[in-house]
Chains A and B, each alone.
Chain A
Amino acid sequence: MSRRLLVIALLATAVALLGMLDRPDASPTATFVTTGARPEVPGPRATSSTWYCAAGSAGSGVGVSHDVVVVNPTDRNTIATLQFVAARDALAPDTSPDVTTTTSAGAAVQKVTVAARSALVVPVGVARASVLVELDHVGPIVSHRLVADSGFDEALCATNPGTEAHFPTANTDTAKGASSQLWLFNPFAADASVDVAVSSDEGVRTPTALRGLVVAARSAVVVEVGQVVQSRSQFAMSVRVRDGVVVAEQSQLEPGNGTLVLTPGVIQPSTRAAFADGRSGGGVGERYVIYNPGRDDASVLVSVVPFDTDPQSLPEKFDLSVPARRYAILDLQDQRRVPVDRPHWVRLESVNGEGVVVQRVATILDAGSPFGGKAGTATSVGQPAMARHWALPWADRAAESTSVLAVANPSTDTIAKVTVTRIVAGAATRVGKSVELAPGGGADIDLGVAGDQPSGLRVDATSPVVVERRVLAASGGDFAVIAAVASHDDLVELPSMSHTTSAELEGS
């Protein structure tokens, strides 16, 4: 071989080898980035945390008390600084200054110390006020609750403001006395301007009165939705911010039904969601409102997974198509494929990748319901992610209130061993025995009565799970489902339902 040919061959070989290097990488491993769509405990590098409790009342506000619950499951005391920002009525003539109060009024700021491994309930002394809670370290969680004569609800305060907030269900049926209030809280330095779009059976519109609402910096406004959207028993709302950011929350009061519901706005639609607590039939109504705030239709699969059910005999999934900017309702009570004798957990997935917001509405229809109460409605927006460690508030108004912890294991192949610990009065006490959940399994853990002292719960599992606490008022007149909070770094994406389907097929 001549020298020239050798050189040409070597160069050609080198370029060919380079071509092998040039091949695209294998599909990158999808990394789950939490978007802060739900409240979450900041990551370990954070040095403090901030919580925003927007809704400060419900209905006319008469007889409604507002409490902030701070649960400190950590081993050090935490100082919580609460700022109460009284809200003005967005639709009333603007006669008061936008910025109602913050640090200028000494009474509007309150500092409290929450001891290690304990919880504290702070009554909000300012009427119709949103609350900003700043904690000096990471770990404690904050929720707030509204208690009216006819009902109560408790929701986690938000950890992230957003430029959007979606509410799948709202009710302004005045015939039943329903009142829906939209709370917009802007504790930030810049004014915010928002539009509120309403999606109903008749279409999507942005009422003039809800267009270009200004939420001044460091202020809160409340929108009496019924004044704009009158006498509708079901519609969805989307808050879209033109400038700035806000924290949005909805308070819904139906005195006739003895119902008070707090719904934090979901700031980002997700493609997957899981609800740990579920029951349909036997006096309990359960429906899912799936709202698609996006511009494209969503194709959603809903799977009801009864606790302790053989994976091979799961009910057939519900396949729903949700048009853009519309909602779909799945009422499980009407579905025969859902077993009525057993609790279940539910998961959803938008298979075409279009994000949706899902709200579960559970209702106690009669006194013989498995939930034990007489009436009431509770809602939940579910969890878009799962985690191994969760924290929940457990500081019910009445000591006799009873709670059930629902835990589900969305994993397709891993058993989760779940341990529940109660945080109260500086001590951490284990609640019952550890529960072992098979892949896809779930369990209700009876927590019993709340007791006199406010407390918190810590749920630790050996593999990621989703958790909710259902609390029944001592009177039995209302109940609530309270979400849990996980650490930012602990959250992992829910498994795709296609994985589950494959497992099912393999099993069959």
Chain B
Amino acid sequence: MQADTGTAASLGADIRRWIGGVIGYDRRPAAANATAEFPLMPSRSTAPDHDEDAFPERDVQVGVGLPAVVAIVATSGGPDAVVGALEGLADQEYGNLTVVVMDAGSPDDPTRRIAAVMPDAFVRHVDGGRSFGAVCNEVLGTVEGATFLLFCHDDLRLAPGAVHAMVTEAFRANAGIVGAKIVRAEAPELLDEMGFGVDAFGFAVPVVEAGELDQAQHDAARDVFMVSTAAMLVRADLFADLGGFSPAMSPLGEALDLCWRARVAGAHVAVMPAAVGHHDRTSTLGDPTDADRRCEIRDQGRTVLVAYGAAHLVRVAPLAALLSVLDLVVSTLSGHLGRSLDIVRAWWSNVLHLPTTLATRRRTQRSRRSPDRDIRAAQLRGSGRIVTSYRSLRASTGRRIPDAIAAARGLPASVQRESTAMGVVLAVLLGILFLVGSRGLIGGGVPVVRDFLPTSGATDLLREWWGGWRQGGFVTNSATPNILAVVALCNAVLLGAAGLARTAVLLCGLPLGAWGAWRAGRDVISSRSRVAVTLAYVFVSVPYDAIAGGRWTTLIAYGTAPWVIGALARMSGVEPFPQRRIARQAATLGLVLALGATVGAAVLVMSAAMTLVVAAGLALSRQLVGARRVLRGGAVAVCIGALCSLPTTIGLVGRSDRWSVLWATTSARRPQLAELLRLSTGAGVDTVLWFAVPIVAALVIVVGRGWRLRWGTILWAVAVASWAIALVTYRWWPAGTRPDTGLVLAPAAAALAVAVGLGMESFGADVRGGAFGWRQAAASVVALIAAVAVVPFIQVAADGRWNMIDGDVVAAVQTLGHRGDTSYRTLWLGDSDALPTRSERIVGRLAFAVTRGVRPTLGSVYPAPPTRQSRHLSDEIRSALDGGMARLGERLAASGVRYVVVVTNVSAGEVVDPPPAVRATRAMLIRQLDLQSLDVAPGIDVYQVTNGRASDRSLVASRSAGVGHVLGNLISVIALAAALRTAFGTKADRRGRHDEDADPAEEDHEAEEVSG
């Protein structure tokens, strides 16, 4: 590049012309008229200690022989914001530098202040509310004669010589864009930024880590893929060719987009370490806000769409989409819901703005000078997002609690060690174990058993969820469960892989429970103890019995129970937990409960019961304040969960069969105390080795002291209460109104798992290091017992299906009709615990269910209230059972029923002796004159209605959404959003939360403890 010194000579006049031509103000840069309205720039005369006459009007100083540089300082922060930047520019010895301040809607006019600092600077007022790039684009076509444009944030102060160094590097490296070494203004020895590498998907990875100590280790000029706009020197002709910054992008997106397009146009991007800028990161215009950060993913996608040629785009775009989906899943599962929303928003926005993006793409591709393979060579290999995530995991070494406070609370030193890495290792290990244990279900699909219902397409699910028109059974408009929306979302995320989505949703209770167990001891016990809690929770029988039995509500209760325990303990504020405001904890717990309640509202009742027991335990241990806090927080959480689960929760209250709907399917098998003590329902692998976890959990009672003993006692109280409820309900509650044993055992399992962690903590704090005594002996014995806890787990996992059945009844009867044929109904009869869908009771345990076609639907996880039709059908069946009807088929045909299926067992092909009521039903059906028995599978009696064609006008019904239902859905969405905001909030909220959440009284108390 050749410096255009001739042009430089007339630069000042050009700028004057531009300023005056555009805004019509006085063309003088001096302040002859500044005393009037300060229209253009302040005069030094405005400064009280300067004499106006001492600074006569003069032309802009331009150097001779130097390429002309115009520094564009965009500001919107008012007079004080820009001072530092101007002072830095004023310190430059570069002889051909012109400064233009773009004032984009500052609250106070900065002209006077600018004149005071840099009388030669030009000021241009432009409309506010625009991005940094949009403001800087004002120079396009108006500044003539400049060789370079130097874009600066108003909070960046360039060190002397920076401009010169950047210009030199631009010539030396023949770079189109040159950045500076950005250090922190408050600590210049710490690096802030020195350019970015970018991967194939537009993800920018900084060359230096933020806060890295500057030891000249990066002080070599180098090519980078992009530099930020904090100090960006751009060749003026290049900037003009590129059309400036792309408007409506985030600051980082603007830089990425410009640098990438510059590379497409054949220019290099370099960073010059000799050019140092002190960055305050307080610019309201140039530095990204939280809102800007949320747009970064969108901007990355948009840039990828714009910058790649067609051939590369075809290869990169699918990969980018896949990574985006993966990112969404991981972010959601890891609780970074904000990022998940950003990803969804990015997709939405880019699809919406596709025409604009394509127009920009056409312009960019026309300017192409450099092939994509050269650009790809300059990019990072692999995924920058994954690499950065991995780095952040490894690099996060921050302490969670100040040492003094931790010491005052008596927390072990190990709690101070960051446990993220250990958590990741544990997560990977458990993930592998779960995948291995579920391999048969993942590969072959989860059978349709009890609550494990089949799903349908995302559109159908969403339509049913939103409108409330039930697709299965009798057509009725009633509250539909939010799980429909959840599964639909999973379907969409997994690109329509409905089977995989179903498997993932059905089994999510397993990892959710492990995650909850891991988090339950956060901040108060060591990482090793947290691992022990997690493993103890994984090594109990409850979830595998639930999977084997197809009891989804129990599995989801297992998933939520440790979250409840952890949240209640945290909300109590009882040692060792600090007293914080409970809103966030309650909101977080409420969200978890809402997630659980999408499957079964029973988790709300379970949480309420756990709240009562924990509060009672605290009260008995004279922690009345803590008990009150637990009651308050637990109640709020349950309310949030209930609100987020509208309209099903309110619908549940008003229906007569609320208890049977609430508890879902329950086993008729009476639990034995020995089974309960080993946390087993007896449904799956039943072995005495399941006793290992409860025995290990007793260690805290035997050897624990202080707060460990107190919490250990409370946790054991939760377990004992669970066992008592299981026994009492089966002894005295009527069938159909009592919870399943597994559901009741879930809190006990969670409590005992946490007790295991406390026992391990007690071993470290109360036993280890002491003289050998009974405590050591007990701990040794318990350690041996703990080792065998893994054995039954391995036994269950080795099956590959968690002992779930192979063939289900629904699959066995699929041959009856074409898949998707819903022009008829199927009547299912049998024991309520054996039917492959939720059912209505007829008499005793005999129940019936009606499905459209032969497949149940997911919506029946929350069955519609009994309708006139279903009651009539129930009466007809009762009548037939009483021996009074020989033409049941005729009555069934009137309700659209074509097939009658009598189920004696959840598994097809397995013949069992049915209960008396089912035997009576079979006998009743076989004597019907208009039902023809079909030979389908052993253990399943199928009858076809022979008397007339199944017809029912209600098979075709209105599909308009019910107002009440939609209102309920809206309320639930609003409640969900409010809870999400309370629980997670924005980053700014989170930054300030620590201070806000802390209870002042508690802090005083902690301070006293520390000083003491």
Which A residues form the contact surface with B (CB < 8 A)? 3-4, 7-8, 11, 14-15, 17-19, 21-22, 25, 33, 36, 40, 42-50, 132, 134, 138, 159-161, 163, 187-190, 217, 243-245, 488
Contact = CB atoms under 8 A, between A and B. Distances in A.
B883 A40 contact: yes
Interface stretch (B353-361, B474-482, B874-882): B874-882
Contacts of B886: 48, 50, 134
A11 B731 CA distance: 21
B883 A18 contact: no
B932 interface: yes
Nearest to A19: B673
Contacts of B723: 15, 18
A463 B886 CA distance: 31
Most buried by B among A18, A19, A25, A40: A18
A42 B885 CA distance: 9
B278 to A, nearest CB: 61
A295 B164 CA distance: 110
Contacts of B716: 7, 11
Contacts of A244: 926, 933
B929 A45 contact: no
Nearest to A17: B724
A189 B885 contact: no
Q: SS class of chain A's interface: helix, strand, loop or mixed?
A: loop
Contacts of A243: 933
Given A7-B701, A18-B724, A188-B927, A48 B933 contact: no
B731 to A, nearest CB: 6
A7 B883 contact: no
Contact of B882 (A25, A46, A187, A189): A46
B724 A21 contact: yes
A245 B926 contact: yes
A160 B884 contact: no
A45 B875 CA distance: 8
Given A18-B724, A19-B673, A7 B713 contact: yes
Contact of A189 (B673, B728, B932): B932
Contacts of A188: 926-929, 931
Contacts of B709: 3-4, 7
Contacts of A14: 720, 724
A306 B916 CA distance: 37
Nearest to B930: A189
A4 B766 CA distance: 14
Contact of B923 (A44, A45, A160): A160
Contacts of B920: 33
Contact of B884 (A8, A48, A132): A48
Secondary structure type dominating chain B contacts = helix
Interface in B839-892: 875, 878-887, 889
Given A18-B673, A22-B673, A159-B883, 6 more contacts: A4-B709, A11-B701, A42-B879, A50-B884, A160-B927, A188-B931
B672 interface: yes
Given A49-B883, A50-B885, A159-B883, A18 B720 contact: yes
Interface string B905-925: 000000000001000100100
B745 to A, nearest CB: 13
Contacts of A36: 883, 923
Given A7-B701, A36-B883, A161 B926 contact: yes
Nearest to B935: A243
Interface of B: 672-673, 676-677, 701-702, 709, 713, 716, 720, 723-724, 727-728, 731, 875, 878-887, 889, 916, 920, 923, 926-933, 946
User: Which 6 A-B residue pairings sit nearest by Cβ, starting from the closest?
Assistant: A46-B884, A42-B884, A43-B882, A50-B886, A22-B673, A189-B932
Contacts of A11: 701, 716, 720
A217 B946 CA distance: 12
B882 A42 contact: yes
Interface centre among A4, A138, A244 (most CB of B within 10 A): A4
Nearest to B878: A45
B727 A187 contact: no
A138 B916 contact: no
A187 B929 contact: yes
B927 A46 contact: no
Contacts of B875: 45
B933 A190 contact: yes
Contact of A18 (B727, B882, B927): B727
22 contacts: A11-B716, A17-B724, A18-B720, A18-B727, A22-B727, A36-B923, A42-B882, A42-B884, A43-B884, A45-B884, A46-B879, A48-B885, A48-B886, A50-B927, A132-B929, A160-B923, A188-B926, A189-B930, A189-B933, A189-B946, A190-B932, A190-B933
A15 B720 contact: yes
Nearest to B934: A190
Contacts of A161: 926-927
Contacts of A134: 886-887
Question: Which residue of A46, A243, A488 has the most chain B CB atoms within 10 A of its CB atom?
Answer: A46
